[in-house]
Homo-oligomer: A and B are copies of this chain.
Amino acid sequence: MTQNIYDDPQFYEGYSQLRRSLEGLDGAPEWPALRALLPDLRGLSLVDLGCGYGWFCRWAQQQGAARVLGLDVSEKMLAQAKATTSGAGVTYERADLEGVQLPGASFDVAYSSLVLHYISDVAAFFAEVRRALTPGGRFVFSTEHPIYMAPSHPAWSTRGDGREIWPLDGYLAEGPRTTDWLAPGVVKHHRTLGTTLNSLIRQGFMITHVEEWGPTDEQISAYPQWAKERDRPMFLLVAAQLP
């Protein structure tokens, strides 16, 4: 079972105060780039792997998706997702995404936002996503970028000349990374970008877009403190499709 850090009281308290939790999709700076990778959702069947508060499921519903299944391991988040979703077509279920079992050939689109880095067996996860998709089905996801996840001390460091740098090490050493983010001892699973892409390819996916996300000029104008996010990518966005 994956570490269910989202139901840890300290983590949950912190997470619930993030912009992306309070404001939803529009509070996530990478959302416009991730949205651009999605097809027109009208009439489609979707699964959201790691749906959290259900922001994406409700947005997909508004876009005209025929059916949306939201899965998450966090009981607290699912409770809020259910309480804030109305209308037909959206259902939520509790599931540990490590070893998740999905109905076969049932979805046109699989979506997953910032969940992959909690999954240790990504090959098994991708195989299950492939099994759940219909022919031509799409898989669009974001994850923490391996450059962000790899270092032994993943925090900005100041060089002698005062310039901030990202102290990269351990990039090719795949495996767990334990960090203190919102709560102590959060376990993530580092793998290289190559491993992620090759695992998709091995399952028969065609890679259609790879984006190492950074803030746009407009976002930096609005939030000047984000400029240094261009020094190393925080998020990786990927779109893939079955033949």
CA distance A151 to B231 in the complex (A): 9
> Is A41 at the interface (CB under 8 A from chain B)?
no
B169/A163 in contact, CB under 8 A:
yes
Chain B positions within 8 Å of A206 at CB level:
206-207
> A172: which B residues are within 8 A, CB to CB?
212, 214, 229-233
The answer to whether B152 and A163 touch across the interface, beta carbons within 8 angstroms, is yes
Name A163-178 residues within 8 Å CB distance of B.
Answer: 163-173
Given A201-B209, A209-B201, verify A233-B163 contact (CB < 8 Å): no
Cβ B212 vs Cβ A193 within 8 A = yes
A207 to chain B, nearest CB (A): 5
Judge whether B173 and A230 touch: CB under 8 Å: yes
Main secondary structure of the interface of A (DSSP, over half): mixed
**A186-243 at interface with B (beta carbon < 8 Å):** 192-194, 197-198, 201, 206-212, 214, 229-233
- The interface residues of chain B lying within 8 Å CB-to-CB of A159 are 153, 157, 167
Task: Name the distance in Å between A229's Cβ and chain B's nearest Cβ.
Answer: 8
Contact with B along A136-156 (1 / 0, CB 8 A): 000000000001000111000
User: How far is the CB of A228 from the nearest CB of chain B, in Å?
Assistant: 8
The winner among A209, A214, A230, A231 for most chain B CB atoms within 10 A is A231
**How many copies of this chain does the complex contain?**
2
CA distance A211 to B192 in the complex (A): 9
Measured CB to CB, the closest approach of chain B to A212, in angstroms, equals 5
Contacts of A212 in B (CB 8 A): 171-172, 192-194
Contacts A208-B201, A212-B194 given; does A168 touch B169 at CB 8 Å = no
Q: Does A165 lie within 8 Å of B171, measured CB to CB?
A: no
Contact A210 B230 (CB under 8 A): no
B198 and A209 contact, CB distance less than 8 A = yes
- Which of A147, A151, A152, A209 lies at the interface centre, i.e. has the most chain B CB atoms within 10 A of its CB? A147
A66 to B127, CA, bound (A): 39
List 8 tightest A-B contacts by C-beta distance, closest first: A172-B214, A165-B167, A172-B230, A169-B231, A166-B168, A194-B210, A194-B212, A168-B168
Q: Name 21 A/B residue pairs within 8 A (Cβ), A-sorted.
A: A147-B168, A152-B163, A157-B165, A163-B169, A165-B167, A165-B168, A165-B169, A166-B168, A166-B171, A168-B232, A169-B231, A170-B231, A171-B232, A172-B231, A172-B232, A192-B233, A193-B210, A194-B210, A197-B197, A201-B207, A206-B207
